[in-house]
Every structure is written in structure tokens, then in C-alpha cells.
Chain A
Amino acid sequence: MTRRTPGRVRQLPDTRVARHCNREDDVLAHLIETPHTPLSAPLQAHLGECAGCRDLALVGSALRLDHATALAQVRVPSAGQVWWRAELRARQDAAARATRPITVASGLAAACLLGLLASVAGALAWWVRDWLQDQPLVHALLAPLAGPGTWTAHWSGNATPALAVGALLAVTLLAASAVLAAWREQ
């Protein structure tokens, strides 16, 4: 005799559960078709001998009763309500699908605009630098703050590649953000 472990479901050998009794269909038919009538005497006698059919009768009758009671109590939304919600959701889905390319395009446009602004700023930087170099007042003001020729050398030597890389990074980041935003929305 197998000893039952407390708190755990007893696992029976597969040989027992795999065996299919020929009377199972009779028991099942009784449960489904005539659940409120008592089992016939031969079937009742069979249940005393067959563990599989006993399990079937126990589980089947419990579930049938549970199902019947729940079915009698359940209240579902009306068909019209479900249809209306489905229509609403279909419209929302369609709108989301329609606006997805616009979202991507907006993101890309924003990225392009920022890139353009960065390029313009880069071009203007040359002009500003030249203009500042021509202003004696600015030289006079900045001379005490930096060593001789420090900031002007820095601007004239490294500004172009730094700005170009910055603009490229900004465009890449914004494009990626736009694509990510569109994907999340989807």
C-alpha cells in the first residue's frame, strides 16, 4: 500500500492511469445525459470494482454540478455591448495603424531639423570666431582669463570635426528615438 505524503498530490504509476476501462463511456454518458438519475445497478457495481470509473464519476459529477450552477448564475454583458466595444477597439487599432507612419516621419523630420540646426551652428561658428577675433574689446576682456591665444587656437583647430560628430550623433539618437517611440506605440 502506498503511503500518502501529507500536503502533496499522490502520483500514481502510469500503468494505472493509462488503462482505459470499457465502461468509462457508459459512466460519462450517464453523467452528461442523465445526471440527475441514479446509476443503474450494474454500473454502480462496476464502480465498486473499477478505480478509473470511480474517479470519472467523482470528478465528472462534481464538474457537471459546478458548471450547471455557475451557468445558472452567470451574467455576461449584452451582445450589443460587446459588439460596440469591439467596434470601438477596431477604430482605435485602425487609428493607431494609420498614425504610426506619421509618428515615424515626425521623428525623422525632427532629427533632420536638429541636424540642420547643428550644421548652421557649425557654419556660424566660423563667422562668429572671425568676428570675435576682429573685436579688440573681446580680446581685452578675455586676455586675463586665458593664456595668450588659447581659446582662439582651440576654436580654429578643432571646431569643425567636433561639430560634425555632434550633429551626426544628435541625428542618429533622434532617429532611433523616433523609431523606438513608433514601435512602442504599435
Chain B
Amino acid sequence: MTIARTALVATAPSADGTFVMREDEFRLLYDRTSRPLWVYLWRLTRDAHAADDLLQDTYYRFLRTPGRYESERHERNALYRIATTLVRDGLRRGHPVSEALPEDGAGGLAGASDAVHATADRTDVQRALARLRPRDRELLWLAYAEGSSHVEIAASLGLRTGSIKMLLSRARRRMADLLQRRVASPGEPGS
């Protein structure tokens, strides 16, 4: 399957040559990657509408960028790389991230805010993530939420593989501190 997909991606552009793959191939890729990618974008931007737009933009750029992918993981890493770049560009231009995390769940998942923000634990995670630096957020999410290897994280974030362990360790320490502080003082305002 993987080898077949590689060949397809490399040799079967869309009928008019606009995209690097055909629609049926795209559907397979999309079904496999869109949901975790959307959650990743949402976690980085904390804005459901921005995540929607960035998801569309990510796939568009992927479809327009010629490339050979050795495996599905490789393909996925390329997608995450594009997504991360788009989020960083957005941050650099001053949007779309909002620093505040409202209690009522606004800015959560589209159409599912209440359910998603139902538990205090998850709110704590969101708040802790929101207070981290963007790169720490990216690292932690890919490593622990997605379960990516150091090589995959390096490929997705454009970092050296050798530096991932150290960066991850520091990011983890920072997040653990934030989570423990929330647990120690649950009534702390303005977190």
C-alpha cells in the first residue's frame, strides 16, 4: 500500500496537472489526516475558524507542491510542516491567535464547544498550552498527543533531530509546572 501510494503521488497528478495527486488519492489522504491535523491547528491557534481556514490552506499548498513521499508518515510530516509554517506566519502577522481562553468554551471546537470543554482537566490543559511558547506547544502536541517520534517531530517542525530530546524535555518541564500550579491553586485567577 505504501509503495503503491508513493508511486501514485509521484506519477499521477490531477487531470489538468494543477495538483500533485488525483481527487480519489486526495480523499484517502484527507480521511487519514484531516481530523488530527485540524486538532493540531486548533491547539496551536486556539481558534476554530482559523483552524478551518488553515486546514484548507494546508491541503491547498500540499496539493500544489511537487514532492516524493516515501511513506504515509512522510506525507503526514510534510502536511504538518506546512501547517506549522502557516501558523507561524499567522502569528508573525499578529493573527489569528487570541491569548484569552474564555470559560464558556467560546473558541472551542466548531459546534461542539460545550462537550469539549466539559471537564476542568481539559481546561487546565488548554490554559497551560496557551501559556507556553508556540514551539513548546508544537513539540509537546506532536510528541505526546500525536505520539510522533523525534525524527517525525524534527521533520514536521523543521528542527534538528538531535535537539528534539532537549527541547522536549524543557517544554515538558514548563508544562508540568503550569499544570501543577493549577492543581495546587485551582482558584487562581487570570491564568
Contact = CB atoms under 8 A, between A and B. Distances in A.
Interface of A: 4, 9-10, 12, 14, 16-18, 20, 28, 31-32, 52, 54-56, 58-60, 62-67, 69-71, 73-77, 79-80, 82-83, 85-87, 89-90, 94
Contact of A86 (B34, B36, B59): B59
Contacts of B70: none
A160 to B, nearest CB: 51
21 contacts: A9-B131, A9-B174, A9-B177, A12-B173, A17-B170, A20-B169, A54-B176, A55-B172, A55-B175, A56-B172, A59-B176, A66-B122, A67-B36, A69-B122, A70-B42, A76-B35, A77-B55, A79-B31, A82-B56, A86-B59, A89-B60
Interface string B96-129: 0000000000000111100110000110111010
A58 B166 CA distance: 18
A65 B122 contact: yes
B146 A67 contact: yes
Most buried by A among B39, B126, B179: B39
A76 B55 contact: yes
A52 B52 contact: no
Contacts of B170: 14, 17
User: For the complex, would chain B's binding face be called helix, strand, loop or mixed by DSSP majority?
Assistant: helix
A90 B169 CA distance: 42
A76 B131 CA distance: 26
A62 B177 contact: no
Given A65-B122, A67-B145, A90-B64, A59 B175 contact: yes
B180 A62 contact: no
A173 to B, nearest CB: 31
Given A67-B39, A82-B55, A83-B23, A60 B144 contact: yes
Contacts of B172: 55-56, 59
Given A9-B174, A70-B39, A86 B112 contact: no
B147 interface: yes
Contact of A76 (B38, B166, B173): B38
Given A63-B140, A71-B39, A76-B34, A86 B60 contact: yes
B177 A73 contact: no
A87 B18 CA distance: 8
B156 to A, nearest CB: 15
Contact of A63 (B60, B125, B165): B125
A85 B36 CA distance: 20
Nearest to A58: B176
Contact of A59 (B31, B63, B144): B144
| 3 tightest A-B CB contacts, nearest first | A67-B145, A55-B176, A79-B30
Given A10-B177, A69-B122, A83 B26 contact: yes
Interface in B147-191: 147, 165-166, 169-170, 172-181
Given A58-B180, A62-B125, A63-B145, A17 B59 contact: no
Contacts of A83: 23, 26-27, 30
A18 B116 contact: no
A74 B39 contact: yes
Contacts of A18: 166, 169
Contacts of B181: 4
A62 B125 CA distance: 7
A55 B175 CA distance: 8
